[in-house]
A and B are shown apart, each in its own frame.
Chain A
Amino acid sequence: MHDVDLKQFKFQGQEHEAIPGLTALEKADQEQLLMAGVVSDETNRSASYLQMDHSAVHCRSHNEDVEIMDIKDALKKYDGLKDYFWTLVDKDKDDYTRSAAENLHGGYFIRVKAGAKVEQPIQSCLMLKAEQVGQNVHNIVIIEEGAEAHVITGCSVAHGTNAGAHLGISEFFVEKNASLTFTMVHNWGDHVAVRPRSAGIVKEGGKFLSNYVLLKPVQDLQMYPSIRMVGEDSVARFNSVIVAPEGSYLDMGNRVTMEAPNTRCEIIARTISTGGTIINRGHIGGHAMPAKGHLECQGLILGNGRIHAIPELDGSLEGVELSHEASVGKIAQEEIEYLMARGLDEDEATSTIVRGFLNTDIMGLPEVLTRAIDKQIEELQASGAM
């Protein structure tokens, strides 16, 4: 595991004034946010939150069933959020959790009220604006009983910002019969170090669908969100689409434990290295029965690069059904030739297959985000990286 030297970064003094709305940001920064799935026109969003360096600069809900605020305010309002704050992630896990515990800069608190079916996504953005800034955030998402919501979190550097460190604690609570779709898009830079520490809990009949998209370079990212399915009939699904260009070092994956009967989970990661390193982890534990889990780590190396897939299955009693498929390779010649027999030249065939590999249809994302992802893939292909 790589360590990040936190002393290199400025964890003090990068406060910003509040802004009335996301449209008040510079155009170039709005563009950066868009690439991370966050739209500055808030009319199609139930709520928006923006953390810039050390300040929550904007926070507004457009839906009375969605409570959204700076975590610092939530801690005051809810008496320290005792049932939630630091209950899933260990404060003393490592230097990064300790940094976030000792010097909290902000983060979002999102609560969707019981029974509410929130149609428009809730969006949040964690942005690094100042050069060489270090950001500590702590996010809490609570989807109360029977509620449904889609949270899109875009993490991004501002236009022109190169270096920084983002340390983010996230704790997710999916209550009985609730449903959370959580989509995270990373749009970092060449010299950004990222250490999210995330955990979630899914109760009876709950659904946790997680999407992760990373198509931009990032120097060093390490994350391993861990979800416990503690309620019967709960479902969890993780889909990731990841590209690591030269210079990126990614150590990432998902861990899910099924601890109640009739639980189902699926982890699917599609990774491409065009020169970077990807450690693609996955762990499914089956500790109640019946429980069914499937893990897929598919990796393509285009040109140079390294992909190290580590799929793990841990079943501890009769009746669990766990399976995995992992591959690290190149594009199959057979697929290229099939498309060439339809009249596509080799470059067209290759780019068609890569686009299919990175397809995000299954995530059910808003159109504007799908377009932003398509644009990034187009740029990657135009640059000749793949």
Chain B
Amino acid sequence: MLKIENLHVEIDGREVLKGIDLEINEGETFILFGPNGSGKTSLLMTLMGFSGYEVTKGSIFFNGKDITHAPTYERARLGIGMSFQRPPTIHGLRTRHLVQMCAREREVDVDEMARKVNFDHFLERDINAGFSGGEIKRSELLQLMAQNPRLVLFDEPESGVDLENMQLVGKVARSILDGDVQPRADLSMKEQKAQKRRTSGLIITHTGYILDYVNADRGQVLYNGHLCCEARPRDILEHIQEYGYQECVKCLN
């Protein structure tokens, strides 16, 4: 689904990603660990194609298509969706309107989707205007639900979120990744799952709280612009909690 080859990225002439190779398969959820400033957010921003992140070497493929230099909207339309950490406020743009636009031509029930993230009372508010940390997350998830992407880029789902919201954010993130399957009379849940296409995920986490909710398949540490230490996400988390990122330094040298 997503294939990154020898990706080098510079911001203002300073190299922040130094040869990243990464492949995420269809339906796979990949967890990215790493200390502050290691390049995690830069990787997500580069995948989305934002200005200021200059790819100096390497390629990004999405479903076989080279998107290394594709404009952001094209990547979004191909099926890459991103949850922002600090999205901008846009005056006069109602949340409802933006959610509708995220769906493009598809029919969506904005109210119904908003209820799922407990956000129906915010639909008439300007997008991100005075939203708290938890509200931003719920708004971002709502937009992603409408967008229905094939690959979700999720930058720190737990940041700025209280415990109660964390549960909601975690569950919704899971339903976006795995599909929302409910018991039905005509079809077993197993059959439903088999029919449903699964969404891939690339999730940045510091605390690992999100691992309590989503089914993480693989994980890796990004350290100083290099990827290292591929392992099961829970094992990485436990290791970091005990030893910090010291070992990564050894590993890379």
Contacts and interface: CB of A to CB of B under 8 A. Distances in A.
Asked if chains A and B come from one complex, the reply is yes
Given A346-B73, A352-B101, A356-B126, A341 B48 contact: yes
A342 B51 contact: no
Interface in A319-369: 332-335, 337-346, 348-349, 352-353, 355-359, 361
A343 B76 contact: yes
Given A342-B101, A343-B77, A337 B93 contact: no
Nearest to A361: B92
A324 B73 CA distance: 36
A338 B90 contact: yes
Interface string B55-99: 000000000000000011100110001101001101111000010
A234 B98 CA distance: 37
B147 interface: yes
Contacts of A337: 50-51, 72
Interface string B35-67: 000000000000010110000000000000000
Listed residue (A332, A348, A352, A355) with the most chain B CB atoms within 10 angstroms of its CB = A352
A341 B147 CA distance: 10
Contacts of B205: none
B50 A342 contact: no
Given A340-B72, A341-B76, A356 B102 contact: no
B224 interface: no
Contact of B92 (A338, A341, A359): A359
B104 interface: yes
Among B48, B73, B87, B104, the one with the most A-chain Cβ atoms within 10 Å of its Cβ is B73
Interface residues of A, number: 24
Given A342-B98, A343-B147, A335 B73 contact: no
B200 interface: no
Contact of A352 (B50, B77, B93): B93
Contact of A338 (B77, B81, B87, B147): B87
Given A352-B93, A361-B92, A343 B84 contact: no
A345 B91 CA distance: 19
Nearest to A345: B73
B143 interface: yes
A353 B104 CA distance: 17
Interface of B: 48, 50-51, 71-73, 76-77, 81-82, 84, 87-88, 90-93, 98, 101-102, 104, 126, 143, 147
Pairs A-B, 8 closest by C-beta atoms:
A359-B92, A356-B92, A356-B93, A340-B72, A343-B76, A340-B73, A345-B73, A334-B88
